[in-house]
Structure 1
Amino acid sequence: MMTFDELHQTATDIFREALKACDVPRAFDRHLHFDDRTLVLCPSPLLKAASFPLDQYKKIFVISFGKAGLTMLEALLERLPEKRNIRGVCCAPELPKKRNWRIRFFAGGHPLPNEDSFRAARAALRLLQRTRKDTFVFFLVSGGGSAMFELPLDKHISLDDTIAFHETLIASGASITEINTVRKYFSAVKGGRLAMAAPEAEKLTLLLADVPLKDLAAVASSPTLPDHSTPAECAEILERFHLMEKFPPNVRRYFEGVIAGRAGEPQSPQAFEHMHMDALLSNHDFVNAARDRAQALGFRVVIDNSCDDWDYADAAAYLLKRFHELRSETPRLCLLSSGEVTVRLGAHPGCGGRNQQFALAAAMDLAQYEGQPLAVLSAGSDGMDGNSPAAGAIADTTTVARARAYHFDPQETLERFDACTLFTALGDAVVTGPTGNNLRDLRILISGG
């Protein structure tokens, strides 16, 4: 029987080894290579084999943004055989220590946009205005780009209005797909509009997918892929989550125009004729790497992703019920679940995020199995969970008792969305720092019997 220290070490090991296996530079090498100055794209489920003689293009532009913006840019630049004609824009969580003079760098905000989010989007749109048929554009897109890389279509909407808009969406309880549907109608760089800014250029979008593969258009709210949603769908989401009355006046007036058909821009199908797209890494790669590590450690592994986009409490109840059923048959068990859960924030949330909220909800269930070797880890592959410095947290059958010994009320902490404070005090927060990757979240439920 495993000790609690061993349980924590094992869960952390599975998470960190899965992260290590999803190396961005290696993913570039699997999906593309250069034959002299010709870019060769390897066939994948999303892309037919193709090649592009880059020396035939007078200009090569790179637009990279999202939580993996720097990682993806560096991986591409290391592999490009010819750099003289390259110019670009990169918007990531932080600025690089050493800057390439050919690239303009911005530190975009997340989970809420900042001034650099606006500056980066404007810089990219200005750069793309210089494209012609003799231009090749790399779009390197990763999760988090919806906030980090933003500019309203309506010039009357300020940064403060935009921050309030994003804040309202995040706290609404809507799924990420629903949130991104609304964002697409708001933004000058989402819903395919970034590709529309370079209609004649040859374009390649490379994604780190923080969404289900069936919904790749949701990555960073689909800046370079056609948007197939409708204003009616946007209006239904706004009504169902009572969003209009919560928006700032300028944003509310703008969406009244969207619903009435007076705002937004029609798509140009021609802008996507020269677009190619592939996913370098996805959440499937992440959870499969975790599976391989857990199996190597001697666990029976079950993967259950069916609670993706569920409310965190419903997801915790479902996965723990499944976990207890499975471990009655196999004492040494690892149940893995990937994707994201949702939270509906109160008026004054504390410090935390959806992963720590899930872990604390799981702790409430595990408390009834005191003494048994059970643990739950929930953490984000980007190293950031909500407004906290942690990626997530680990809970076990002693968490609630230890929290009460430290004078925490776990239920009250859960209701205040202040789980990071509790897990930090217990030493059970999972802290990685920004990982330069973003492949959604991973939940690891282990039984060490």
Structure 2
Amino acid sequence: MDRRALLERSYHAALEAVAPARLLAPYLNEPRPDLVLAFGKAALPMLRAALEAYPGVPGLAVPPRGTPDLSAPDAAEVLPGSHPVPDEHSVRAAERALTRVRALPEDARLLVLVSGGGSALLSAPWGVTLAQKGALTRDLLRAGADIGEINAVRKHLSHVKGGRLAAATRAHVRALLISDVIGDDPSVIASGPTVPDPSTFAEALGVLDRYGLEVQEARAHLTAGARGELPETPKPGELPHVENTIIGSNRVLLEAAHSFLEAQGVRSVILSDTLAGEARDLAGFHASLISSVRDHGTPFRGPLVLLSGGEATVTVRGEGRGGRNQEFALWLLHDLGERGVHALSAGSDGIDGNSDAAGAFLTPDSLVRARALGLDPRAFLTRNDSGSFFTMLEDALVTGPSGHNLNDYRAVWVE
């Protein structure tokens, strides 16, 4: 059995099993909406599925710029935005979305389809310029801030996030969300534009303090809000005309992979869908577990595939190419050394960090092959250049944008 090929098949099979249209299907039997608004990495497949169920209903989709297929039904507008850093296209999309939802009467129905990436794609800066907000987002990402921290800041520098989009309309709002965050908190997904926001201006200011970011304009705005000089985001109980439902998550993705592998006669175990922290630390945890299974048969007896998800983070110190999934794979190679394994670490959205790859493969001879090419894993890790390493090793998984976003996918075959 070709283990590498099977791990790749498990990734694609899992994504196909939880395709946005399949996730949406059970929820599209409600009364016909008057407008469908979709934004995020899965915006277009979600919009197409909804408008197939509700032909003739007008729609607006905000997908990432560079999405391969931007086609949509005639009744729909498509305004691509930028991800992970918003640009003027993201601002134009947010302004258009606000205009359209504000125009809906009180007896209208608005269907909002939300997926990961929506926070950057739908951007309406408040208190800062677009350039200042973009620079702050980059600084937070480079500092290793997690998605919850980043969103707490972005919600309080936005006219749409933190429930403000839903607060802008009198219509009944039904939001269906695909989660790309650990714990599936709807207030965190795409910065919760339809969800009451429990975070505060003071908490957002605390994030800047925690990472030592001296950004004058943002600090002035957040300080004014913390003093009560600006209106807070809607809090729980303040959006009675809104209902939010999560229809997909990383757990669903891992369960689909588990079912696929079991159907192939390969035993698998889902470790967790909530693993977080530095990619280096997550790799160390997996390396210890792999050694325990191989050497002692605990806590599982091999052979089997260990599945895990969640979201790693990377504190960037170098100028290399790659992302958290390739960084995880390279640290795992570093920690296992010559006792390698077949493994795949990839993002479900098809793009890992600033590289063109979704992730990377490991094979038991990865280190031997790397040495033969004169590649030192530690040197590449020092400059955060995992993407270059796996490209040179011809072990990068390149898929292009998947039109989905259900967080990370890791599969490790332990003999």
The CA distance in 2 between the partners of 1:408 and 1:252, in whole Å, is 44
- 1:107 maps to 80
> Of residues 37, 54, 62 in structure 2, which corresponds to 1:63?
37
> C-alpha deviations, 1:13-60, integer Å up to 9, x for none?
111111111122222222332xxxxx2xxxxxxxxxxxx3x4xx7xx1
Q: Considering only aligned residues, what root-mean-square deviation do their CA atoms show, in Å?
A: 2.0
User: Once structures 1 and 2 are overlaid, which stretch shifts more, 396-405 or 354-363?
Assistant: 396-405
> 2:350 touches 2:398 (CA, 8 Å); kept in 1?
yes
- TM-score computed with the length of structure 1 as normaliser: 0.86
Partner of 2:51: 77
Work out the CA distance in 2 between the residues paired with 1:87 and 1:306: 36
Q: Which amino acid aligns with 2:207?
A: I
Is 2:297 aligned against 1:323?
no
Residues 253/426 of structure 1: CA separation in 2 closer, same or farther (3 Å cut): same
Counterpart selection for 1:121 from 94, 101, 107: 94
Gaps of 5+ in 2: none
CA distance in 2, matches of 1:196, 1:80: 25
Q: 2:203 aligns with which of 233, 243, 250?
A: 233
Q: TM-score, normalised by structure 2?
A: 0.93
1:404 partnered with 2:378: no
- Say if 2:120 is the partner of 1:147: yes
Aligned to 1:337: 308
Conserved 8 A contact 2:338-2:365:
no
Cα distance change of structure 1 residues 253 and 285 upon mapping to structure 2, 3 Å threshold: same
Q: Secondary structure at the match of 2:277?
A: coil
Take 1:362 and 1:417, find their aligned partners in 2: how far apart are those partners?
14
Q: How big is the shift at 1:355?
A: 0.4
**Structure 1 contact 367–401 (Cα < 8 Å) conserved:** no
Counterpart Cα distance in 1 of 2:83 and 2:231: 25
Q: Would the aligned equivalents of 2:205 and 2:223 in 1 still touch at CA under 8 Å?
A: no
Deviation at 1:180, TM superposition (A): 1.4
Over the matched positions of the two proteins, sequence identity in percent amounts to: 38
Q: Distance in 1 between matches of 2:345 and 2:231?
A: 38
* Contact 2:202–2:222 (Cα < 8 Å) also in 1: no
In structure 2, the residue matched to 1:352 is 322
- Structure 1 position 136 matched with structure 2 position 133: no
Distance (whole Å) between structure 2 residues aligned to residue 133 and residue 307 of structure 1: 39
User: Residues 96-245 of structure 1 correspond to what in structure 2 (within 5 A)?
Assistant: 96-154=69-127, 157-198=128-169, 200-243=170-213, 245=214
- Paired residue type of 1:143: G
- Shift of residue 410, structure 1, vs aligned partner: 1.3
Cα displacement (A) at 1:269: 6.9
The question of 1:14 aligning with 2:10 is answered yes
Deviation at 1:266, TM superposition (A): 4.7
Q: Tell me how far 1:224 sits from its aligned partner.
A: 0.3
Equivalent pair of 1:359/1:394 in contact (CA under 8 Å): yes
On the 8 A contact 1:376/1:445 being kept in 2, the answer is yes
Instruction: Number of aligned residue pairs: give it.
Output: 409
More deviation in 100-109 or 69-78? Answer: 100-109
Tell me whether 1:367 sits opposite 2:337 in the alignment. Answer: yes
289-298 or 299-308: bigger deviation: 299-308
8 A Cα contact 1:107 1:117, kept in partner: yes
Cα 1:269–1:11 change in 2 (3 A) is: closer
Q: Distance in 1 between matches of 2:221 and 2:183?
A: 31
Aligned equivalent of 1:277: 244
CA contact (8 A) 1:381 1:441 kept: yes
> 1:65–1:90: 8 Å Cα contact kept in structure 2?
yes
Deviation of 1:213 after TM superposition, in Å, equals 4.4
SS of match in other structure, 1:186: coil
Task: Return the alpha-carbon distance in structure 2 between the equivalents of residues 88 and 162 of structure 1.
Answer: 28
Cα displacement (A) at 1:443:
0.8
Distance across 2 between alignment mates of 1:158 and 1:221: 18
Give the letter aligned to residue 104 of structure 1.
Answer: E
5+ long unaligned stretches in structure 1: 34-38, 40-51
SS of equivalent residue, structure 2 residue 103: coil
